[in-house]
Amino acid sequence: MKVMVVGGGGREHAIIKKLKENKSITEIYALPGNGGIAADATCVNIGAKDIDGQVEFAVNNKIDYAVVAPDDPLVLGAVDALQEAGIPCFGPDKKAAIIEGSKVFSKNLMKKYNIPTAKYEVFNDLDLALEYLDTAPIPTVIKADGLALGKGVIIAETREDAKAAVRSMMEDKIFGESGSNVVIEEFLTGPEVSVLSFTDGKTVVPMVSSMDHKRALDGDKGLNTGGMGTVAPNPYYTEKIADICMKTIFRPTVEAMNSEGRSFKGCLYFGLMLTPDGPKVIEYNCRFGDPETQVVLPLLESDLLTVMQAVTNGTLDTCEVKFKNGSAACVVMSSSGYPQAYESGFELSIDNSVADCVYVAGAKLDDNVLKTAGGRVLGVTATADTLKSALSLAYERVEKVHFDNAFYRKDIGAKALQAKEG
Ligand code: AMP
Ligand code: GLY
Protein backbone atom coordinates (compact mmCIF):
# COMPACT_ATOMS: atom_id res chain seq x y z
CA MET A 1 0.00 0.00 0.00
CA LYS A 2 1.27 3.47 -0.92
CA VAL A 3 0.57 6.30 1.50
CA MET A 4 1.35 9.98 1.18
CA VAL A 5 1.50 12.52 4.00
CA VAL A 6 1.17 16.21 3.22
CA GLY A 7 3.33 18.43 5.44
CA GLY A 8 6.91 18.66 6.59
CA GLY A 9 7.28 19.23 10.33
CA GLY A 10 7.74 17.29 13.56
CA ARG A 11 4.06 16.38 13.61
CA GLU A 12 4.29 14.83 10.16
CA HIS A 13 7.43 12.94 11.18
CA ALA A 14 5.55 11.50 14.17
CA ILE A 15 2.59 10.53 11.95
CA ILE A 16 4.93 8.86 9.43
CA LYS A 17 6.86 6.91 12.09
CA LYS A 18 3.59 5.66 13.56
CA LEU A 19 2.11 4.75 10.18
CA LYS A 20 5.25 2.74 9.38
CA GLU A 21 4.36 0.27 12.13
CA ASN A 22 1.70 -1.02 9.73
CA LYS A 23 3.43 -3.60 7.59
CA SER A 24 0.92 -3.35 4.74
CA ILE A 25 2.38 0.06 3.93
CA THR A 26 5.15 -0.50 1.41
CA GLU A 27 5.86 3.10 0.48
CA ILE A 28 5.44 6.43 2.32
CA TYR A 29 5.85 9.77 0.59
CA ALA A 30 6.13 13.09 2.41
CA LEU A 31 5.11 16.26 0.53
CA PRO A 32 7.41 18.09 1.04
CA GLY A 33 8.79 16.37 4.19
CA ASN A 34 12.22 17.56 5.34
CA GLY A 35 15.82 16.37 5.61
CA GLY A 36 15.10 14.42 8.80
CA ILE A 37 11.87 12.88 7.56
CA ALA A 38 13.88 11.60 4.57
CA ALA A 39 15.17 8.80 6.85
CA ASP A 40 11.61 7.45 7.13
CA ALA A 41 9.85 8.46 3.91
CA THR A 42 10.51 9.47 0.33
CA CYS A 43 10.39 13.26 0.34
CA VAL A 44 8.85 14.87 -2.72
CA ASN A 45 9.41 18.54 -3.37
CA ILE A 46 5.74 19.56 -3.54
CA GLY A 47 4.72 22.25 -1.07
CA ALA A 48 1.99 21.82 1.55
CA LYS A 49 -0.12 24.49 -0.18
CA ASP A 50 0.40 23.16 -3.72
CA ILE A 51 -2.88 21.28 -3.95
CA ASP A 52 -2.75 20.77 -7.72
CA GLY A 53 0.74 19.32 -7.32
CA GLN A 54 -0.45 16.98 -4.56
CA VAL A 55 -3.35 15.69 -6.64
CA GLU A 56 -1.16 15.18 -9.69
CA PHE A 57 1.43 13.30 -7.62
CA ALA A 58 -1.20 11.13 -5.94
CA VAL A 59 -2.84 10.17 -9.22
CA ASN A 60 0.39 9.57 -11.12
CA ASN A 61 1.84 7.46 -8.33
CA LYS A 62 -1.34 5.52 -7.61
CA ILE A 63 -1.43 6.58 -3.97
CA ASP A 64 -3.83 4.39 -1.96
CA TYR A 65 -4.30 6.71 1.00
CA ALA A 66 -3.41 10.32 1.80
CA VAL A 67 -3.08 12.11 5.12
CA VAL A 68 -3.30 15.90 5.03
CA ALA A 69 -1.76 17.15 8.27
CA PRO A 70 -1.27 20.97 8.24
CA ASP A 71 -3.96 23.62 8.59
CA ASP A 72 -3.27 25.55 5.38
CA PRO A 73 -3.99 22.80 2.82
CA LEU A 74 -7.00 21.61 4.85
CA VAL A 75 -8.51 25.10 4.93
CA LEU A 76 -7.71 25.52 1.21
CA GLY A 77 -9.55 22.29 0.32
CA ALA A 78 -6.78 19.71 -0.26
CA VAL A 79 -8.99 16.88 0.98
CA ASP A 80 -11.83 17.88 -1.37
CA ALA A 81 -9.44 17.95 -4.33
CA LEU A 82 -7.79 14.61 -3.50
CA GLN A 83 -11.14 12.92 -2.92
CA GLU A 84 -12.49 14.26 -6.19
CA ALA A 85 -9.51 12.61 -7.86
CA GLY A 86 -10.47 9.32 -6.19
CA ILE A 87 -7.82 9.30 -3.44
CA PRO A 88 -9.14 8.25 -0.01
CA CYS A 89 -8.01 10.83 2.50
CA PHE A 90 -7.64 11.55 6.20
CA GLY A 91 -8.64 15.09 7.15
CA PRO A 92 -11.69 17.35 7.08
CA ASP A 93 -12.96 18.87 3.84
CA LYS A 94 -12.85 22.61 3.28
CA LYS A 95 -16.35 23.17 4.66
CA ALA A 96 -15.42 21.52 7.95
CA ALA A 97 -11.87 22.91 8.20
CA ILE A 98 -13.40 26.37 8.65
CA ILE A 99 -13.70 25.44 12.33
CA GLU A 100 -10.01 26.41 12.50
CA GLY A 101 -9.89 28.66 9.43
CA SER A 102 -12.23 31.26 10.88
CA LYS A 103 -12.37 32.22 14.53
CA VAL A 104 -15.55 34.20 13.83
CA PHE A 105 -17.13 30.99 12.51
CA SER A 106 -16.02 28.90 15.48
CA LYS A 107 -17.06 31.49 18.07
CA ASN A 108 -20.50 31.88 16.45
CA LEU A 109 -20.84 28.09 16.29
CA MET A 110 -20.16 27.79 20.02
CA LYS A 111 -22.60 30.57 20.83
CA LYS A 112 -25.36 29.07 18.66
CA TYR A 113 -24.97 25.57 20.15
CA ASN A 114 -24.24 26.58 23.76
CA ILE A 115 -20.71 25.18 23.81
CA PRO A 116 -18.79 26.80 26.68
CA THR A 117 -16.24 29.40 25.54
CA ALA A 118 -15.07 32.91 26.44
CA LYS A 119 -17.61 35.71 25.90
CA TYR A 120 -16.76 37.72 22.79
CA GLU A 121 -17.62 40.39 20.26
CA VAL A 122 -16.75 40.41 16.55
CA PHE A 123 -15.67 43.57 14.72
CA ASN A 124 -15.02 44.39 11.08
CA ASP A 125 -14.88 48.13 11.73
CA LEU A 126 -11.79 49.58 13.40
CA ASP A 127 -13.57 52.54 15.04
CA LEU A 128 -16.23 50.34 16.60
CA ALA A 129 -13.56 47.98 17.92
CA LEU A 130 -11.61 50.88 19.46
CA GLU A 131 -14.78 52.28 21.03
CA TYR A 132 -15.62 48.90 22.51
CA LEU A 133 -12.14 48.72 24.04
CA ASP A 134 -12.81 51.96 25.98
CA THR A 135 -15.00 49.99 28.36
CA ALA A 136 -14.10 46.30 27.76
CA PRO A 137 -12.82 44.36 30.78
CA ILE A 138 -9.00 44.27 30.94
CA PRO A 139 -6.97 42.07 30.36
CA THR A 140 -8.62 41.26 27.08
CA VAL A 141 -7.82 38.91 24.24
CA ILE A 142 -7.64 40.00 20.59
CA LYS A 143 -7.78 37.35 17.87
CA ALA A 144 -7.41 37.69 14.11
CA ASP A 145 -10.23 35.84 12.35
CA GLY A 146 -8.14 33.76 9.94
CA LEU A 147 -5.02 31.61 10.05
CA ALA A 148 -1.98 33.55 11.26
CA LEU A 149 0.75 30.95 11.73
CA GLY A 150 -0.37 30.48 15.33
CA LYS A 151 0.48 34.12 16.07
CA GLY A 152 -2.92 35.74 15.68
CA VAL A 153 -3.74 35.90 19.39
CA ILE A 154 -2.70 38.87 21.52
CA ILE A 155 -3.38 39.08 25.24
CA ALA A 156 -3.53 42.77 26.14
CA GLU A 157 -2.91 43.79 29.75
CA THR A 158 -3.84 47.44 29.17
CA ARG A 159 -6.39 49.34 27.08
CA GLU A 160 -3.54 50.94 25.12
CA ASP A 161 -2.02 47.56 24.26
CA ALA A 162 -5.43 46.26 23.25
CA LYS A 163 -6.02 49.20 20.93
CA ALA A 164 -2.55 48.86 19.45
CA ALA A 165 -3.21 45.16 18.81
CA VAL A 166 -6.49 45.89 17.04
CA ARG A 167 -4.84 48.63 14.95
CA SER A 168 -1.98 46.33 13.97
CA MET A 169 -4.43 43.69 12.77
CA MET A 170 -7.14 45.85 11.16
CA GLU A 171 -5.17 48.87 9.95
CA ASP A 172 -1.57 47.68 9.45
CA LYS A 173 -2.78 44.20 8.42
CA ILE A 174 0.13 42.42 10.08
CA PHE A 175 -1.69 39.15 9.42
CA GLY A 176 -3.01 40.23 6.01
CA GLU A 177 -6.68 39.54 5.33
CA SER A 178 -6.75 37.23 8.39
CA GLY A 179 -7.09 40.40 10.47
CA SER A 180 -9.95 42.04 8.53
CA ASN A 181 -12.29 40.70 11.18
CA VAL A 182 -11.21 40.48 14.79
CA VAL A 183 -12.65 38.71 17.79
CA ILE A 184 -12.28 40.51 21.11
CA GLU A 185 -12.87 38.10 23.94
CA GLU A 186 -12.98 37.67 27.67
CA PHE A 187 -9.69 36.73 29.32
CA LEU A 188 -10.02 33.32 30.96
CA THR A 189 -7.81 31.69 33.55
CA GLY A 190 -7.02 28.12 34.46
CA PRO A 191 -4.82 25.23 33.32
CA GLU A 192 -4.77 24.57 29.58
CA VAL A 193 -5.33 21.13 28.12
CA SER A 194 -5.07 19.92 24.55
CA VAL A 195 -7.37 17.09 23.57
CA LEU A 196 -7.00 15.68 20.07
CA SER A 197 -9.82 13.46 18.92
CA PHE A 198 -10.65 11.16 16.04
CA THR A 199 -14.09 11.72 14.60
CA ASP A 200 -15.92 10.42 11.55
CA GLY A 201 -18.76 12.88 12.07
CA LYS A 202 -20.77 10.34 14.07
CA THR A 203 -18.49 8.92 16.73
CA VAL A 204 -15.91 11.02 18.57
CA VAL A 205 -12.97 9.30 20.26
CA PRO A 206 -10.74 11.56 22.35
CA MET A 207 -7.05 10.67 22.38
CA VAL A 208 -4.88 10.86 25.46
CA SER A 209 -4.81 14.47 26.75
CA SER A 210 -1.66 16.58 26.58
CA MET A 211 -0.06 19.82 27.73
CA ASP A 212 1.83 22.20 25.44
CA HIS A 213 4.51 24.69 26.54
CA LYS A 214 4.07 27.66 24.24
CA ARG A 215 6.45 30.20 25.71
CA ALA A 216 10.06 30.29 24.54
CA LEU A 217 11.78 30.35 27.95
CA ASP A 218 11.76 28.48 31.25
CA GLY A 219 9.08 29.47 33.74
CA ASP A 220 6.65 30.24 30.86
CA LYS A 221 8.54 33.42 30.09
CA GLY A 222 9.46 34.93 26.74
CA LEU A 223 7.54 35.05 23.49
CA ASN A 224 4.87 32.67 22.28
CA THR A 225 6.23 29.96 20.00
CA GLY A 226 4.81 27.08 18.01
CA GLY A 227 5.42 24.94 21.13
CA MET A 228 8.64 24.12 23.03
CA GLY A 229 7.57 20.78 24.46
CA THR A 230 4.66 18.61 25.50
CA VAL A 231 3.66 15.97 28.00
CA ALA A 232 0.84 13.43 27.97
CA PRO A 233 -1.42 12.72 29.69
CA ASN A 234 -2.19 16.14 31.16
CA PRO A 235 -2.55 15.68 34.95
CA TYR A 236 -5.18 18.42 35.21
CA TYR A 237 -7.47 16.49 32.90
CA THR A 238 -9.18 14.10 35.29
CA GLU A 239 -11.75 11.48 34.36
CA LYS A 240 -14.48 13.69 35.76
CA ILE A 241 -13.40 16.61 33.59
CA ALA A 242 -13.14 14.28 30.59
CA ASP A 243 -16.79 13.26 31.13
CA ILE A 244 -17.88 16.89 31.33
CA CYS A 245 -15.95 17.71 28.15
CA MET A 246 -17.52 14.79 26.29
CA LYS A 247 -21.03 15.94 27.26
CA THR A 248 -20.65 19.71 26.96
CA ILE A 249 -17.96 20.15 24.31
CA PHE A 250 -16.88 17.15 22.20
CA ARG A 251 -20.23 15.62 21.23
CA PRO A 252 -22.00 18.98 20.93
CA THR A 253 -19.27 20.26 18.59
CA VAL A 254 -19.46 17.23 16.29
CA GLU A 255 -23.27 17.46 16.27
CA ALA A 256 -23.18 21.23 15.69
CA MET A 257 -20.96 20.74 12.64
CA ASN A 258 -23.41 18.14 11.30
CA SER A 259 -26.34 20.50 11.85
CA GLU A 260 -24.48 23.18 9.89
CA GLY A 261 -23.95 20.76 6.98
CA ARG A 262 -20.23 20.72 7.73
CA SER A 263 -19.67 17.19 9.02
CA PHE A 264 -16.12 16.94 10.37
CA LYS A 265 -14.05 13.83 9.59
CA GLY A 266 -10.46 13.73 10.75
CA CYS A 267 -8.59 14.88 13.82
CA LEU A 268 -10.50 17.57 15.71
CA TYR A 269 -8.30 19.33 18.26
CA PHE A 270 -9.88 20.92 21.31
CA GLY A 271 -7.76 23.60 23.00
CA LEU A 272 -9.38 23.83 26.43
CA MET A 273 -9.03 25.95 29.51
CA LEU A 274 -10.18 24.48 32.82
CA THR A 275 -11.69 27.65 34.28
CA PRO A 276 -13.28 28.00 37.72
CA ASP A 277 -16.61 27.83 35.83
CA GLY A 278 -15.72 24.56 34.13
CA PRO A 279 -13.91 23.58 30.93
CA LYS A 280 -14.19 26.07 28.07
CA VAL A 281 -12.96 26.01 24.49
CA ILE A 282 -10.05 28.36 23.77
CA GLU A 283 -9.65 27.20 20.19
CA TYR A 284 -10.43 24.44 17.74
CA ASN A 285 -7.88 23.11 15.31
CA CYS A 286 -8.88 21.00 12.33
CA ARG A 287 -5.77 18.80 12.58
CA PHE A 288 -3.25 17.10 14.82
CA GLY A 289 -1.43 19.55 17.11
CA ASP A 290 2.28 20.18 16.89
CA PRO A 291 4.09 19.22 19.18
CA GLU A 292 1.15 17.42 20.86
CA THR A 293 1.24 14.67 18.23
CA GLN A 294 4.82 13.87 19.22
CA VAL A 295 3.58 12.69 22.66
CA VAL A 296 0.11 11.44 21.75
CA LEU A 297 0.96 9.05 18.91
CA PRO A 298 3.80 7.27 20.75
CA LEU A 299 1.16 6.34 23.35
CA LEU A 300 -1.29 5.02 20.75
CA GLU A 301 -1.37 1.25 20.98
CA SER A 302 -3.80 0.71 18.08
CA ASP A 303 -2.69 0.81 14.47
CA LEU A 304 -2.86 4.41 13.21
CA LEU A 305 -3.68 3.57 9.60
CA THR A 306 -6.58 1.34 10.68
CA VAL A 307 -8.02 4.13 12.83
CA MET A 308 -7.56 6.73 10.11
CA GLN A 309 -9.26 4.51 7.55
CA ALA A 310 -12.16 3.93 9.97
CA VAL A 311 -12.54 7.73 10.16
CA THR A 312 -12.55 7.98 6.36
CA ASN A 313 -15.02 5.11 5.99
CA GLY A 314 -17.34 6.28 8.78
CA THR A 315 -16.82 3.10 10.81
CA LEU A 316 -15.10 4.57 13.85
CA ASP A 317 -17.81 3.12 16.12
CA THR A 318 -16.51 -0.41 15.44
CA CYS A 319 -12.79 0.46 15.55
CA GLU A 320 -10.75 -0.04 18.68
CA VAL A 321 -8.68 3.03 19.62
CA LYS A 322 -6.45 2.09 22.53
CA PHE A 323 -3.79 4.07 24.35
CA LYS A 324 -0.99 2.78 26.56
CA ASN A 325 -1.14 3.50 30.26
CA GLY A 326 2.17 5.34 30.69
CA SER A 327 3.27 8.90 30.03
CA ALA A 328 5.17 10.63 27.25
CA ALA A 329 7.32 13.75 27.13
CA CYS A 330 8.71 15.70 24.19
CA VAL A 331 11.45 18.33 24.48
CA VAL A 332 11.76 20.63 21.46
CA MET A 333 15.28 21.67 20.49
CA SER A 334 15.24 24.98 18.64
CA SER A 335 17.73 27.34 17.07
CA SER A 336 18.83 29.90 19.63
CA GLY A 337 16.90 33.14 19.07
CA TYR A 338 13.67 31.46 17.92
CA PRO A 339 10.87 32.68 17.66
CA GLN A 340 12.77 35.76 16.52
CA ALA A 341 15.84 35.87 14.25
CA TYR A 342 18.10 32.83 14.39
CA GLU A 343 20.88 31.25 12.35
CA SER A 344 20.60 27.91 10.58
CA GLY A 345 22.73 25.65 8.44
CA PHE A 346 24.49 23.95 11.37
CA GLU A 347 25.32 20.27 11.10
CA LEU A 348 23.01 18.04 13.10
CA SER A 349 24.20 14.90 14.80
CA ILE A 350 21.64 12.48 16.15
CA ASP A 351 23.00 9.42 17.90
CA ASN A 352 21.65 6.20 16.38
CA SER A 353 20.44 5.06 19.78
CA VAL A 354 17.87 7.88 19.87
CA ALA A 355 17.01 8.28 16.18
CA ASP A 356 13.68 6.45 16.64
CA CYS A 357 12.56 8.99 19.25
CA VAL A 358 13.51 12.12 17.33
CA TYR A 359 10.92 13.94 15.25
CA VAL A 360 12.58 16.39 12.91
CA ALA A 361 10.83 19.69 12.19
CA GLY A 362 13.38 22.00 10.58
CA ALA A 363 16.34 20.37 8.84
CA LYS A 364 17.56 19.82 5.31
CA LEU A 365 19.99 17.50 3.61
CA ASP A 366 22.92 19.36 2.14
CA ASP A 367 25.08 16.93 0.13
CA ASN A 368 23.78 14.16 2.36
CA VAL A 369 24.70 16.08 5.51
CA LEU A 370 21.76 16.90 7.79
CA LYS A 371 21.74 20.60 8.70
CA THR A 372 19.42 22.79 10.75
CA ALA A 373 16.89 24.73 8.68
CA GLY A 374 14.27 26.18 10.96
CA GLY A 375 13.38 27.72 14.29
CA ARG A 376 12.11 24.53 15.82
CA VAL A 377 14.64 21.95 14.69
CA LEU A 378 13.37 18.75 16.28
CA GLY A 379 11.57 17.16 19.20
CA VAL A 380 12.98 14.39 21.37
CA THR A 381 10.33 12.09 22.82
CA ALA A 382 10.34 9.42 25.51
CA THR A 383 7.61 7.21 26.91
CA ALA A 384 7.74 5.51 30.30
CA ASP A 385 5.51 4.21 33.08
CA THR A 386 5.50 7.56 34.87
CA LEU A 387 5.73 11.18 33.76
CA LYS A 388 8.85 11.63 35.88
CA SER A 389 10.69 8.80 34.12
CA ALA A 390 9.49 9.93 30.69
CA LEU A 391 10.86 13.40 31.38
CA SER A 392 14.25 12.23 32.60
CA LEU A 393 14.58 9.86 29.67
CA ALA A 394 13.64 12.61 27.20
CA TYR A 395 16.27 14.92 28.71
CA GLU A 396 18.87 12.11 28.64
CA ARG A 397 18.14 11.66 24.95
CA VAL A 398 18.48 15.40 24.32
CA GLU A 399 22.13 14.98 25.36
CA LYS A 400 22.57 12.64 22.40
CA VAL A 401 21.55 15.26 19.84
CA HIS A 402 23.95 18.03 18.88
CA PHE A 403 24.01 21.14 16.76
CA ASP A 404 25.59 24.55 17.22
CA ASN A 405 23.25 27.16 18.72
CA ALA A 406 20.83 24.53 20.08
CA PHE A 407 18.37 25.82 22.66
CA TYR A 408 15.73 23.99 24.67
CA ARG A 409 13.66 24.59 27.77
CA LYS A 410 14.88 22.80 30.88
CA ASP A 411 11.50 22.77 32.61
CA ILE A 412 9.21 20.89 30.24
CA GLY A 413 6.71 18.98 32.38
CA ALA A 414 7.73 20.69 35.63
CA LYS A 415 4.27 22.16 36.15
CA ALA A 416 2.61 18.88 35.24
CA LEU A 417 4.77 17.03 37.77
CA GLN A 418 3.88 19.55 40.45
CA ALA A 419 0.18 19.19 39.63
CA LYS A 420 0.49 15.43 39.92
CA GLU A 421 2.23 15.58 43.26
CA GLY A 422 0.34 18.57 44.69
P1 AMP B 1 -3.76 30.18 20.13
O2 AMP B 1 -2.75 30.85 19.24
O3 AMP B 1 -5.18 30.29 19.66
O4 AMP B 1 -3.32 28.78 20.48
O5 AMP B 1 -3.73 30.96 21.50
C6 AMP B 1 -2.53 31.18 22.13
C7 AMP B 1 -2.71 31.17 23.60
O8 AMP B 1 -3.41 32.34 23.99
C9 AMP B 1 -3.53 30.03 24.17
O10 AMP B 1 -2.81 28.87 24.30
C11 AMP B 1 -3.92 30.62 25.51
O12 AMP B 1 -2.84 30.48 26.41
C13 AMP B 1 -4.07 32.07 25.21
N14 AMP B 1 -5.48 32.44 25.09
C15 AMP B 1 -6.27 32.39 23.99
N16 AMP B 1 -7.52 32.78 24.27
C17 AMP B 1 -7.54 33.11 25.59
C18 AMP B 1 -8.54 33.60 26.50
N19 AMP B 1 -9.78 33.87 26.09
N20 AMP B 1 -8.18 33.81 27.77
C21 AMP B 1 -6.92 33.58 28.20
N22 AMP B 1 -5.94 33.12 27.40
C23 AMP B 1 -6.24 32.90 26.11
N1 GLY C 1 0.38 23.13 19.64
C2 GLY C 1 -0.69 23.93 19.20
C3 GLY C 1 -1.10 23.75 17.80
O4 GLY C 1 -0.76 22.79 17.15
O5 GLY C 1 -1.79 24.62 17.29
> Any residues with CB less than 8 A from the CB of 240 and at least 6 apart, and which?
none
Cβ atoms 394, 414 nearer than 8 A: no
- Closest CA to ligand 1's atom 2: 150
- pLDDT in the model for residue 422: 63
Percent of the chain with pLDDT over 70: 99
**369-383: pLDDT as tens digits:** 999 999 999 999 999
CA of 226 to the centre of ligand 2 (A): 7
- Closest CA to ligand 2's atom 4: 289
Range 13-40 average pLDDT:
98
Closest to 70 in 3D by CA, of 5, 17, 152: 5
Cβ atoms 378, 335 nearer than 8 A: no
Which ligand has the shortest distance to the CA of 11?
Answer: 2
The per-residue pLDDT of the chain, averaged, comes to 96
**257-279: pLDDT as tens digits:** 999 999 999 999 999 999 999 99
CA of 16 to the centre of ligand 1 (A): 29
CA of 189 to the centre of ligand 1 (A): 10
**281-336: pLDDT as tens digits:** 999 999 999 999 999 999 999 999 999 999 999 999 999 999 999 999 999 999 99
pLDDT of 148 over the 80 cut: no
- pLDDT in the model for residue 78: 98
Q: For each of the domains in the chain, give its residue range(s) and CATH number, in order of start.
A: 2-91 (3.40.50.20), 119-186 (3.30.1490.20), 192-318 (3.30.470.20), 327-421 (3.90.600.10)
**385-419: pLDDT as tens digits:** 999 999 999 999 999 999 999 999 999 999 999 99
Closest to 215 in 3D by CA, of 57, 414, 10, 23: 414
- pLDDT in the model for residue 177: 80
pLDDT band at 67 (very low <50, low <70, confident <90, very high): very high
Q: Is the CB of 150 under 6 A from ligand 2?
A: yes
pLDDT of 151 over the 80 cut: no
> Any residues with CB less than 8 A from the CB of 352 and at least 6 apart, and which?
none
- Residue 231 identity (one-letter amino acid): V
CA of 289 to the centre of ligand 2 (A): 4
CA of 131 to the centre of ligand 2 (A): 32
User: How far is Cα 6 from Cα 82, in angstroms, rounded to an integer?
Assistant: 11
pLDDT band at 113 (very low <50, low <70, confident <90, very high): very high
> Any residues with CB less than 8 A from the CB of 133 and at least 6 apart, and which?
140, 159, 162, 163, 166, 184
Q: Is the CB of 185 under 6 A from ligand 2?
A: no
Rounded to 5°, the CA angle 122-124-126 comes to 105
pLDDT band at 152 (very low <50, low <70, confident <90, very high): confident
Q: Which of 71, 234, 273 to mutate to test the pocket of ligand 1 (most atoms within 8 A of CB)?
A: 273
Q: From the alpha carbon of 292, which atom of ligand 2 is closest?
A: 1
Closest to 183 in 3D by CA, of 258, 284, 292, 93: 284
Other CB atoms within 10 A of residue 353 CB: 9
- pLDDT in the model for residue 173: 87
**192-237: pLDDT as tens digits:** 999 999 999 999 999 999 999 999 999 999 988 989 999 999 999 9
Range 334-354 average pLDDT:
97
Percent of the chain with pLDDT over 90: 93
Range 107-122 average pLDDT:
97
